[in-house]
Amino acid sequence: MKERLLGKTPEELKAIALEVGLPGFAGKQMAQWLYQKRVRSIDEMTNLSKQGREVLAQRYEVGMIQPVDVQTSKDGTRKYLFPVRCALKAGTAEEVFYVEAVMIPDHERKTLCVSSQAGCKMGCKFCMTGRQGFHGNLDTADILSQFFAIEEAADLTNAVFMGMGEPLDNWDKVKRVIDILTAPWGVAWSPKRVTLSTIGVLPKLKQYLQESKCHLAVSLHNPFPEEREEFMPVQKAWSITEVVRLIKQFDFTGQRRVSFEYTVFDTWNDTPRHADALLKLLRGMECRVNLIRFHSIPDFPYKSASAQTMEAFREQLEKGGVTATIRASRGEDIFAACGLLAGKHNVT
Ligand code: SF4
């Protein structure tokens, strides 16, 4: 199989250029073709010599994958389905799995919700992705393809690593994607346009906070450790108390923002006692809480809290000094909303 160029840095591309007999500066040219002009084949890199392109194409390919299906919601949200080749462990046979990327339009913004893994090993009980288990990590080219191969590629304004998978469980690849998105030689986005969402993989979270300037979103869902553990097995390994303690060591008073995602379930986490504990946990932080309505999934007995209860919860947080919003649900009719991504291959 050919090696993919998408996802490589200019230095790595320079080494490849020299290896195939192209001049060293062809590495920079290749980076421009890949990340600014977003070509899909080596043959389109027309400022490289024809012979150089031919030698390059013997061993390499651009490696951008194309979506095999797209569904459009009545609210304009679009869900793309991508086939990815994954192996559970290095050295084992690869299989094709399907992952989803969701484009969410909102006035002048177009945000892409990106997947970082096929399935997920974190096993959150309320999440359709977690239900399917883990199939493998996405490669850098697979993640970048979600940005470059969709119809709205040229108009995207923001990205959230909030799709299928836990991005910090595939941190090496996700970091590389973020570097390419924000590098001047890459897509040249400001880090303010990117948010990574995590359930709190503590060691990698520390790296993320140290190595990136992008925003952070944390799936919190319950301030009581013993209750959180019922729905989120990760709590056993890395407690939310430790996660919040770590985040408090970093500066979120400037341009960088931290938000906490809180899906509100009827009776499980929607009481004044929970709002009170949440306020105590977040005390002293410059942050926002996003309250999310739960979308029912099969064989899971909990329902969403009512609109009235969510509003009361929001008011209690606001009164306690924490900015809280009830997030509008998007793309529910095409199963693109939070927790519903399952990578179902329904192409006929
Ligand atoms: Fe994985 Fe996120 Fe789903 Fe939890 S909520 S199982 S971390 S994809």
291-345 per-position pLDDT tens digit: 999 988 888 999 999 999 999 999 999 999 999 999 988 887 888 776 777 776 5
Specify whether 36 is located in the same domain as 118: no
| 197 Cα to the center of ligand 1, angstroms | 10
Pair 342, 132: CB distance under 8 Å: yes
Say yes or no: 38 and 91 in one domain. no
Residues 181 and 260 in one domain: yes
- Is the same domain home to 7 and 43? yes
- Residue 345 is predicted with a pLDDT of 59
Higher-confidence position of 295 and 41: 41
Instruction: Provide the residue type at 313 as one letter.
Output: F
Q: Of 193, 192, 202, give the one whose Cα is nearest residue 171.
A: 202
**Mutation pick for ligand 1 pocket among 126, 127, 205, 335 (CB with most ligand atoms within 8 Å):** 127
Q: What ligand 1 atom has the least distance to the C-alpha of 169? A: 7
Question: The tokens of 281 are what?
Answer: 């946990």
- Given a cut of 50, whether residue 62 has pLDDT beyond it is yes
Residue where a domain terminates, one of 16, 44, 61 = 61
Q: Are residues 161 and 232 in the same domain?
A: yes
The stretch 172-188 carries a mean pLDDT of 98
Q: How far is the CA of 277 from the centre of ligand 1 (A)?
A: 23
DSSP assignment of 321-341 equals T-EEEEEPP-SGGGT-STT--
Residue 232 CA: nearest ligand 1 atom is 4
11 annotated active-site: no
Q: Alpha-carbon distance 61 to 340, whole Å?
A: 33
CATH code at 54? Answer: 1.10.150.530
What's the half-sphere exposure (Cβ side, CA atoms, 13 Å) at 137? 12
Q: What is the CATH number of the domain that holds 140?
A: 3.20.20.70
Q: How far is the CA of 124 from the centre of ligand 1 (A)?
A: 6
- Shared domain check, 135 and 33: no
Q: What is the pLDDT of residues 233-292, one digit of tens each?
A: 999 999 999 999 999 999 999 999 999 999 999 999 999 999 999 999 999 999 999 999
Q: How many domains does the chain have?
A: 2
Mean pLDDT confidence for 10-26: 97
Catalytic residue among 19, 86, 100, 242: 100
Condensed to tens digits (0 to 9), the pLDDT of residues 194-245 reads 999 999 999 999 999 999 999 999 999 999 999 999 999 999 999 999 999 9
Q: What percent of the chain has pLDDT over 70?
A: 98
Ligand 1 pocket mutation, candidates 99, 100, 102, 129, criterion most atoms within 8 A of CB: 129
Atom 6 of ligand 1, nearest CA residue: 130
Is it the case that residue 346 has pLDDT exceeding 70? no
Q: Is the pLDDT of residue 347 over 80?
A: no
Same domain? For 210 and 290 the reply is yes
Whether residue 228 is found in the same domain as residue 312: yes
Inter-CA distances, 88 with 46, 94, 139, 162, 182, Å: 38, 8, 12, 21, 29
CA atoms of 218 and 235, how far apart (whole Å)? 13
Same domain, 50 and 77: no
Residues 126 and 48 grouped into a single domain? no
Query: Do 99 and 234 fall within a single domain?
Result: yes
Q: Is 214 in the same domain as 332?
A: yes
> Would you place residue 348 in the very low, low, confident or very high pLDDT band (cuts 50, 70, 90)?
very low
Ligand 1 environment, Cβ below 6 A: 120, 122-124, 127, 129-130, 164-166, 199
Catalytic residue, chosen from 86, 120, 127, 338, is 338
Question: Which token pair is 66?
Answer: 């194309």
Domain end point (choices 42, 61, 80): 61
Is 261 annotated as catalytic?
no
Distance 252 CA to ligand 1 centre (A): 25
How far, in Å, from the CA of 10 to the mean position of ligand 1? 33
Question: What is the domain range of residue 304?
Answer: 69-346
Q: For position 218, what pLDDT does the model report?
A: 98
Report which protein residue has its CA nearest ligand 1's atom 4: 124
pLDDT tens per residue, range 114-162: 999 999 999 999 998 998 899 999 999 999 999 999 999 999 999 999 9
Is the pTM value of this prediction over 0.75? yes
Q: To 10 degrees, what angle do helices 272-282 and 307-319 make? A: 40
Work out which ligand 1 atom sits closest to the CA atom of 166: 7
> 288 CA distance to ligand 1 centroid (A)?
21
Whether 134 and 143 have beta carbons less than 8 Å apart is answered as: no
Give the domain-ending residue among 61, 83, 109. Answer: 61
Q: State the chain's mean pLDDT as an integer.
A: 94
- Candidate from 199, 230, 265, 341 with most ligand 1 atoms within 8 A of CB, to mutate: 199
**Rounded CA gap, 316 and 277, in Å?**
11
CA of 111 to the centre of ligand 1 (A): 20
